[in-house]
A and B are shown apart, each in its own frame.
Chain A
Amino acid sequence: MNIFYSALVYTVWFLSTYFVVFFLLALFTFRNKLFEEKKFSGKTWPFVSILVPAYNEQGKIHKTINSLKKVVYKRVEFIIINDGSKDGTSKEVRKHIKGDSRFIFIDRKKNMGKAASLNEGIKKGKGAYFGCMDADSIIEPTIIEKCLPYFEDDIGAVTVNVEVVQPRGILHKVMELEFILGLSLFLKIYSFFDSVFVTPGPFSIFSKKVLDEIGGFDANCIVEDMEISFRIRKAGYRIVHCMDAKVQTILPRGFRKLYVQRRRWYSGALETVFQHKHMLFNRKYGVFSFLIPFNYILMVLGLGLFIATQFLGLSRLFRNLYNFRYTNFNFLERLLEWEFDVLGYSSSMILGLIMFSFTVLIMILGLRYARKTFNARKTASIGYPFIFFLYQIFWIGSLYAVIRRKKVSWR
């Protein structure tokens, strides 16, 4: 076996196992704090503004508005910003907010982007806290009451669990599982280490004081929800995650749309990390400054390993299949005679098997601690360990876009 390949296998295994063990230890240590209920300590409940930038959301925005209408928090305003939509979003919004004085509608003719829309909403809003949400997301009625008690002097933002609206098909079901683990449990664990690296777009709530201090969202960034988390941290504030509150989001339909979305996320993430590179390995920013580069180094090495393994493994597989042309294609005959020889497996293969087992373990424990049932997600559970392959495709596309400095589209 090639020495470089072996070295790569061991390095990726060590780093990823370290991360998994770290995660499991943290999960075990903080298991009783995952769903801790916070009580609001202020004298009066503050005024809250919820911002909803929308671009071509004609078919979905009524669901978002309906969920806003059900919000039980009294001191609230909802600011919907139509970001120059080319479809009937404006008409749809006007139709659904009619008669509800809590709604403010900003109808912009020119498309300026999500971050610019949010910034405009921040200027317009009166809240001490600003909830920012996507126009294809649905919040639960008590989300504000659940989030506000988390705010302390040094808290810049509070994130909530992101769930998937009616996942259909294996791809969406696997993504649902990914959201439960990645955009809920992982964020909660990261928040114990002051290392939350994203304020998910479907819904996150920010302190106005902090937004003013850092200058709002970066209008030039395609992943404004990630970029702002870096600047919040840089300004000395923390982001915490509330496991008790949830927002539901609609996933893109079909692989291509999902690919486009993920390419934007990942290439935007890479650009954000590069933009704030001075924060990496900088002790001033605590664990955040180590966890973030650790994840990206692991990602790059993992991608290298994935490509090398596909190249070596697939070329070997094709070579073997190709050789069957010399033996009159007696593939089935030989397959039935296949013998298992444990001595024929290298240590690298054992490492791979252990990594696979860890993925399954994280999935099972993650679901348990996120208070989700395993039985309802059997199909997704089978697909989840293989999500790694999907990630690599997304990452390859994203890296290509970043290297070629290709403009990444929103949809």
Chain B
Amino acid sequence: MVVIKKKGRSTKKSTVVTIFVVALVITIFLLMTILLLGALLNKNRESYIDSNVQKLYNDLNEMQTFSLLAEVYGDQMACVAFSSKLMDMDESIWNLGRKIDQYRSVSEEFKKNPYYLEQKKIFNENELFYMVLLKQLKVRCNYTQAIVLFFYQNSQDCKKCDDQSFVLTDINKDIDEELAIFSFDADLNLTSLRVLREFYQITELPCTIVNDVKMCGMQDKDAILKEICKDQPDIDVCKQFEDKPAN
């Protein structure tokens, strides 16, 4: 039988055990610190989304007030106020939708977080509400702002949805005030969204509606811009299409 000679052991057993145990304690401490940091980041993400969804909700209330004001006191007064509101809302609404998706993906490492699903529902409902108000005021105040609706679902079921989202994000960066993009998550199964999908007869995802023109399937930047530019030729990015003869 083999016997390890203990006489010449390099290091005392107690020292070896101490090093292993202290290393374990430090590692667990580091892991706990990171988990706490992760929880803190999650909390901050949720605070960010809470405050922005709340801001959206407040803005919508304000716009509803403008709409009522327009009905009672005439369009002119309400439209001036509405115009200033539009400027900071349109870009932020698209970004907020993307932030909810992004924060959800980095937060859900081990389990689904019902918070994000709930916020996404609230956000989509508010978006829908905002979109309807915008359409009303667009007619009433003679706005030329483009309205884009984007229907999508999770990337596992719809590989092209992420690609289309990438293109719309790019367009949103190019066109700021003159464009309002609304993204609707088909996975949420909201009744109001189902009605909207039926109205536009959407059977395939991703689907983009540009100023009520349906463009389902993957659309590149130029295709969407061309459609936007039909109604809003004064937008800077539309100048590139000016000299080209129409097909």
Interface residues, chain A, with chain B CB atoms under 8 Å away: 1, 3, 6-7, 10, 13-14, 17-18, 21-22, 25-26, 29-30, 152-155, 191-194, 234-238, 240, 284-287, 319-320, 323, 325-328, 330, 334, 337, 342-351, 354
Contacts and interface: CB of A to CB of B under 8 A. Distances in A.
Nearest to B47: A343
Interface string B204-222: 0000000000000010111
Interface residues of B, number: 47
Given A236-B2, A240-B10, A343-B41, A1 B34 contact: no
Nearest to A346: B106
A154 B10 CA distance: 11
A4 to B, nearest CB: 10
Top 3 A-B residue pairs of the complex, sorted by shortest distance between their CB atoms: A347-B38, A346-B106, A22-B23
Interface string B20-36: 10111011001100110
B143 interface: no
B170 A327 contact: yes
A238 B10 CA distance: 9
Most buried by A among B19, B103, B108: B19
B109 A344 contact: no
Contacts of A325: 220
A338 B158 CA distance: 26
Given A18-B27, A153-B5, A328 B35 contact: no
Nearest to A153: B8
B48 interface: yes
B3 interface: yes
A343 B10 contact: no
B110 A343 contact: no
Contacts of B222: 328
B2 A21 contact: no
B16 interface: yes
B7 interface: yes
B200 interface: no
B103 A344 contact: yes
Given A18-B23, A334-B173, A236 B4 contact: yes
A236 B3 contact: yes
B3 A155 contact: no
A1 B221 contact: no
A344 B95 CA distance: 13
B102 interface: yes
Contacts of A284: 2, 4
B9 A343 contact: no
B20 A22 contact: yes
A350 B34 contact: yes
Interface string B147-169: 00000000000000011001100
Contacts of A21: 23, 26-27, 30
Contacts of A350: 34, 37-38
B4 to A, nearest CB: 5
Contact of A345 (B4, B35, B106): B106
Contact of B37 (A13, A330, A347): A347
6 contacts: A14-B31, A25-B19, A25-B22, A29-B15, A154-B8, A326-B218
A152 B7 CA distance: 10
A22 B8 CA distance: 23
B54 interface: no
B53 to A, nearest CB: 15
Given A10-B31, A234-B2, A284-B4, 8 more contacts: A17-B27, A153-B7, A154-B8, A155-B8, A326-B170, A326-B218, A327-B166, A350-B37
A236 B48 CA distance: 62
Contacts of B8: 152-155, 238
A354 B30 contact: yes
Contact of A323 (B7, B23, B163): B163
A281 B26 CA distance: 24
B51 interface: no
A6 B38 CA distance: 13
B5 A326 contact: no
Most buried by A among B2, B7, B108: B2
Interface string B166-183: 110010010000000000
Given A191-B10, A351-B34, A343 B45 contact: yes
Contacts of A328: 221-222
Contacts of A29: 15, 19
Given A327-B221, A347-B37, A350-B37, A194 B48 contact: no
Given A234-B2, A328-B221, A1 B106 contact: yes
A62 B185 CA distance: 74
Contacts of B20: 22
Nearest to B164: A326
B162 A319 contact: yes
Contacts of B136: none
B44 A343 contact: yes
B5 A193 contact: no
A237 B20 CA distance: 23
A206 B121 CA distance: 72
A285 B2 CA distance: 9
